[in-house]
Amino acid sequence: MFQLPADCLNEIIEYLEYDNATLHSCLLVNRFWCKVSVRILWRNIQNYKTIISCLPNESKELLNKNKIVISTFNSKTPLFNYVSFIKYLSIYNINNIIKSILQNFQSITPQSLNHKKYIVAMEIYKLIMSQTSLRELYLNLYNMIDTPIITFISYPGAINCLKYLTKLSCHSDIYPGFFYQLSYLCHNIQYLDISFEKMISDGLSELIFVQKNLKYLKIYNYNCEDSINIIQSLSKLPNTIIKCEIYGVIHYIPLTFITKIINLKELVLSFHTYTYNSNNFKYFEKLQYITFTQLEILKFPVACPRVEVLIKFLENNGKNLKEFYICCSDNSLCLAVAKFCPNLRKFFSTGYIELELLKKIFNGCQYLESINIWCDDNYKDVWDIITKYSPRNFYKLKLYYSMSTKSGKFSKELEKFFINWKNRLPLSFIIEGFNLEIMEMIEKYKKLGTVKEYKITFF
């Protein structure tokens, strides 16, 4: 029987990393497939029984000594060193493992239960720190767990376990000393996800500063009222960052630190509508005069800055934009997009775009591939404009279809549009607003090759 080389099979199975069902099937093919598949499957811990079976004898003895008797203990040596395959570690998942292990100890006092949780957690973290080299560490749900926090960074093996960490997700108020300790061990974090809380532990600024290749910074602010503390924590940003996402709910986040991210390619600013008049976008006004020469993606998913400020920002930064997502619509803003964003590929606006402005956008953005449009009784004109003015590379349309529109006329005009589109790139079509007749029409032209794919959703 022909057998693929290990590196070839490994590359194929890599594509199944998030398909656990198929990976489990691969385990059953033969031992060779099993050896390749298990390494990928166990990047995330799969079950607590296997973890327990991998504990060294001294750990099992310690658990027994503390009357933590686990039925999964057995004398068989595990088929693989499963722990060495772990690459993604979440303390939330570890907490669930501990709860499963101690599910029969609920009748004891809370103090005794916490002590047992601490012992089990300590032995599991010792095992992981000594056996594997992590790539991703998730500490961002610690406030939702009921297991005592373990300072595992000081455990034997932690240096080798954490030095190649590429992704860290955490809260700012994690236990004192954590960020300082981590800054000595980890210099290769590429993705940093921080939720700012009421307190910011010392060393966060230092941890950010020592990273040699930090590319992605994601910030949440739910509870931190101290903007000065946030600024200080973000005062040493490296110039390697290319993507920055900022999410604010109640308290604002000062945006002045963004001016230091000179190689920024993607910026996402998401502030809830009830903070629209807060200081969040007041700080954006300072960004309108800054030029980010490599900025390609700009998104405002929830609220947006004052239109005149945003237009000035586009004047300085629109030339290289490829994607622009805005949660509102304004005539002057649409004109600015047509004027200042000649290389735009995707434009998403949640508001209505007037037909003449739609023409201007198509004419001004000759590389446009995708747009969303609100459609009511003027649908015939919308189809005509898309057919006549959309660039040759245009292929993706998201249509917000009014339920009050007469479906018969709409369907006829849609068919005319598809007929006129037959020599263009096949459409990816998303329509919001269900209508059976329209769905049948789209399906017909999918079979003819005019439509590549489509999806019908509800408002």
CA gap 18, 215 in Å, rounded: 23
Q: Encode pLDDT of 165-221 as tens digits.
A: 999 998 888 877 888 899 999 999 999 998 887 777 888 888 988 999 999 999 888
The structure's pTM equals 0.87
What is residue 138's predicted lDDT score, i.e. its pLDDT? 93
Strand segments (E) across 40-132 = 88-90
Q: Tell me which residue of 126, 130, 115 sits closest to 68, measured CA to CA.
A: 115
Beta bridge partners of 375: 401
In a domain, 452, yes or no: yes
What tens-digit pLDDT sequence spans the chain (459 residues)? 567 777 888 888 888 888 888 888 888 888 888 888 889 999 999 888 888 889 998 998 898 888 887 765 556 778 889 999 999 999 888 888 888 888 777 677 878 888 888 899 999 999 999 999 999 999 876 666 677 777 888 888 999 999 999 999 988 888 778 888 999 999 999 999 988 877 778 888 889 889 999 999 998 887 666 666 777 777 778 889 999 998 876 666 778 788 888 899 999 998 875 544 455 677 788 888 889 999 999 999 888 888 899 999 999 999 999 999 998 778 899 999 999 999 999 999 887 788 899 999 999 999 999 998 876 667 788 889 999 999 999 999 988 765 555 556 778 888 899 999 988 999 998 887 666 778 888 899 999 999 999 887 765
The parent domain of residue 20 ranges over: 1-41
Beta bridge partners of 349: 326
In a domain, 384, yes or no: no
Among 26, 41, 56, residue at a domain's last position: 41
CA gap 232, 219 in Å, rounded: 14
In a domain, 3, yes or no: yes
Q: Tell me which residue of 129, 203, 123 sits closest to 165, measured CA to CA.
A: 129
In a domain, 286, yes or no: no
In a domain, 440, yes or no: yes
What is residue 277's predicted lDDT score, i.e. its pLDDT? 43
Among 41, 56, 71, residue at a domain's last position: 41
In a domain, 406, yes or no: yes
Please state whether beta strands 167-171 and 191-196 pair in parallel, antiparallel, or not at all (unpaired): parallel
Contacts of 122-125 spanning 24+ positions with Cβ under 8 A? 122/150, 123/55, 123/59, 123/62, 123/63, 124/51, 124/55, 124/94, 124/97, 124/98, 125/94, 125/150, 125/152, 125/155
In a domain, 17, yes or no: yes
Please report which residue ranges of 390-435 form alpha helices under DSSP H: 407-420
What is residue 323's predicted lDDT score, i.e. its pLDDT? 97
What is residue 71's predicted lDDT score, i.e. its pLDDT? 65
What is residue 144's predicted lDDT score, i.e. its pLDDT? 63
In a domain, 437, yes or no: yes
Q: Number of folded domains in the chain?
A: 2
What is residue 248's predicted lDDT score, i.e. its pLDDT? 79
Q: Can you tell me whether residue 43 is helix, strand or coil?
A: coil
| Alpha carbon 262 to its chain's center | 22
